Structure 1
Amino acid sequence: MNEFEVRITRKVKRDDIIQLYKDAGWWRQEYSLDPSFIDRLVCNSFCFVGAFHKKKMVGMGRSISDGASDAYILDVTVLKKYRGKGIGTRIILKILERIKSRGIDWATVIAEPGTEEFYRKAGFRVMKGFVPLRLKQRK
C-alpha cells in the first residue's frame, strides 16, 4: 500500500496550505488579511492537487487554464521533510493527466532555479526563444 495519496481536490484545510506556502518561502503576510484568499486560490484553479499522508496535506500543485488550449502549472511544492519520495512527480503527473483529459496540449511552468531537472523528468523542456515576464509589483 502506498502511504501517500495524490488526488484532485477542492477540500483542503487552510492551515495546511499556509504551512506549505511558508515551507516553500512563498507566504506573504498580506495574504493573511484576506480570509477568502485560500478558498479563491483553490476553487478558482483549473485543477488543484493535494498529496496526503494519512489526513495531512504534505504537498500540492495547481494549474490555471482557459480550459481549451493552454494551461499553466504553478505552486508545486512538497513539505521539505517529505521530499525525495516521488510525491512532487506524482503531483505533476496528476495535474498533467487532468490537463490532457480536457484536450489541452500547451502546458507551461515557470520553475525556480535549480528545479529544471525535476520538471525535465516530467517531460518539460526549456522554451528557447521565450522569456518569462512578470508585471512589476507596486510598493
Structure 2
Amino acid sequence: MYQYFNGYIIREGTQNIPADQVERLFIDAGWVRRTPEWQKEKFTLIFQNSTWAYTVWDDNEMIGMVRVLSDQVMAATIMDLAVHSSHRGKGIGQKLVGLCLQKLPHGDWFAHTSSNNYSFYEQLGFEVKDPNHNGTCAYYGYIEARKAGHR
C-alpha cells in the first residue's frame, strides 16, 4: 500500500527495504557510522523482523521511516523513527506516528527516545515517563478511546 503526503510517497510494508537507504538515514540521524560491509544486511533485516513499517520517498530517495514491534493486540513500540535532516519540519514524522497509531488505536504505544524528542511526542499525545533521562514516551490508546466515548 502507498499514499501521497505533501508531494512524497509513503509506502507501507516491511519487505524489500534497501539497506543503503536505511543506512543513509541512520547516518544522518547520528545512529551509525562506518558500518562494515558484512554487517549492512542488518538494515534490511530489521524491517523484515518488524511488525509494521512505513517509508517515505522523494522520487527514488528514502527520506523518512518508522518501524514498529507489536503483539498487534495490546501494545506496540516505535523502534526507529527518522526523517532526513533536509526534510524535517514538514510534518513527515507526525504523519508517520499518526499512521502507526491507526494500526492499534486502542493499544498502548511506547517510544524509547532521547530527551530532545520529548516535545515532539508530547505534541502527539504521548506522556513522558521519565523527563530527567533518556527514556520512554507512552501513548495510552484506551485512555484516548475513553475520552472519545468509545469505552
Structure 2 CA distance for partners of 1:126 and 1:31, relative to 1, 3 Å:
farther
Q: TM-score, normalised by structure 2?
A: 0.74
2:121 matched to which residue of 1? 119
How many pairs were matched up?
Answer: 128
Structure 2: which amino acid aligns with 1:43? Answer: Q
Partners of 2:117 and 2:36 lie apart in 1 by: 25
More strand by share: 2
Q: Is the 8 A contact 2:19 2:42 kept in 1?
A: no
1:7 matched to which residue of 2? 11
Q: Which has the higher contact order (CA 8 A, sep 6+)?
A: 1
Q: Is the 8 A contact 1:58 1:79 kept in 2?
A: yes
1:49 matched to which residue of 2? 54
Q: Secondary structure at the match of 1:115?
A: helix
Q: TM-score, normalised by structure 1?
A: 0.80
Moved over 6 A (4+): none
Consecutive unaligned residues of structure 1, counting only runs of 5 or more, are 134-139
Consecutive unaligned residues of structure 2, counting only runs of 5 or more, are 137-151
Q: Is the 8 A contact 1:20 1:79 kept in 2?
A: yes
2:143 matched to which residue of 1? none
